[in-house]
Amino acid sequence: MGETFQYWRREIETMPRAELLALQLEKLKMAVGWALRTPFYAERLPRAGINSADDIKTLADLRRIPFTTKQDLRGAFPYGFLGVPREDVVRLHASSGTTGTPTTIYFNRADLSRWSGYVARSIYGTGCTKNDVFQNMITYGLFTGGLGFHAGGEEVGMLVIPSGAGNTARQFRFMQDFGTTVVHATPSFLLHVESIMRAEGVSRESLRLRKAFAGAEPYSEDTRRRIEKLLNIDVYNSYGLSEMNGPGVAFECQAKDGLHLWEDGYIGEIINPDTLDPLDGGESGELVLTCLCREATPILRYRTRDLSGFYTEPCSCGRTHRRLRRITARTDDMLIINGVNLFPSQIEEVIMSMREAGNNYLIVVEKEGMLDRLTVKTEIQAEFFTDDTRPLNALKEKIRKTLQASITINPRVELHESGSLPVSEGKARRVQDLRPKDV
Ligand code: AMP
Ligand code: ZN
Query: Residue 3 C-alpha to ligand 2 middle, in angstroms?
Result: 13
Q: What's the pLDDT tens digit per position in 104-151? A: 999 999 999 999 999 999 999 999 999 999 999 999 999 999 999 999
The count of C-alpha atoms lying within 13 angstroms of the C-alpha of 202, restricted to the half-sphere facing its C-beta, is 22
**Cβ neighbours of residue 397 under 8 Å, at least 6 residues apart?**
none
Position 426 confidence tier, pLDDT thresholds 50, 70, 90:
confident
Per-residue confidence (pLDDT) for residue 100, from 0 to 100: 61
Q: What is the rounded end-to-end Cα distance, in angstroms, of the chain?
A: 52
Per-residue confidence (pLDDT) for residue 99, from 0 to 100: 55
The least confident of 257-266, 298-307, 420-429 is 420-429
Asked if residue 78 has a cis previous peptide bond (ω within 30° of 0), the answer is yes
Q: What's the pLDDT tens digit per position in 86-110? A: 999 999 999 866 556 678 999 999 9
* Best residue for ligand 1 mutational test, from 68, 73, 95, 98 (most atoms within 8 Å of Cβ): 98
Secondary structure (H, E, C), 115-170 = HHHHHHHHHHCCCCCCCCEEEECCCCCCCHHHHHHHHHHHHHCCEEECCCCCCHHH
Q: What's the pLDDT tens digit per position in 318-348? A: 999 999 999 999 998 899 999 899 999 999 9
Query: Residue 193 C-alpha to ligand 1 middle, in angstroms?
Result: 21
Instruction: Name the more confident of 168 and 425.
Output: 168
Ligand 1 lining (C-beta closer than 6 Å): 95-96, 98, 144, 215-218, 237-242, 304, 306, 327, 330
Residue 361 in this model has a pLDDT that exceeds 80: yes
Q: What is the pTM of this model?
A: 0.93
Q: What's the pLDDT tens digit per position in 32-62? A: 999 999 999 999 999 999 999 999 999 999 9
Which numbered atom of ligand 1 lies nearest the CA of 304? 10
Proximal ligand: closest to the CA of 99: 1
Query: Residue 192 C-alpha to ligand 2 middle, in angstroms?
Result: 29
Q: Give the domain 335-433 fold.
A: GMP Synthetase; Chain A, domain 3 (3.30.300)
Residue spans of the domains in the chain: they are 2-17+76-330, 335-433
Query: Residue 95 C-alpha to ligand 1 middle, in angstroms?
Result: 10
Residues pairing with 414 in the sheet: 377
Q: Give the domain 2-17+76-330 fold.
A: Rossmann fold (3.40.50)
Look over the chain and give the mean of its residue pLDDT values, rounded to a whole number: 94
Per-residue confidence (pLDDT) for residue 439, from 0 to 100: 44
Intrachain domains 2-17+76-330 and 335-433 with the same fold: no
Q: What's the pLDDT tens digit per position in 171-209? A: 999 999 999 999 999 999 999 898 899 999 999 999 999
Edge to edge, what strands does the sheet with 266-271 contain?
A: 266-271, 285-291, 302-308, 329-330
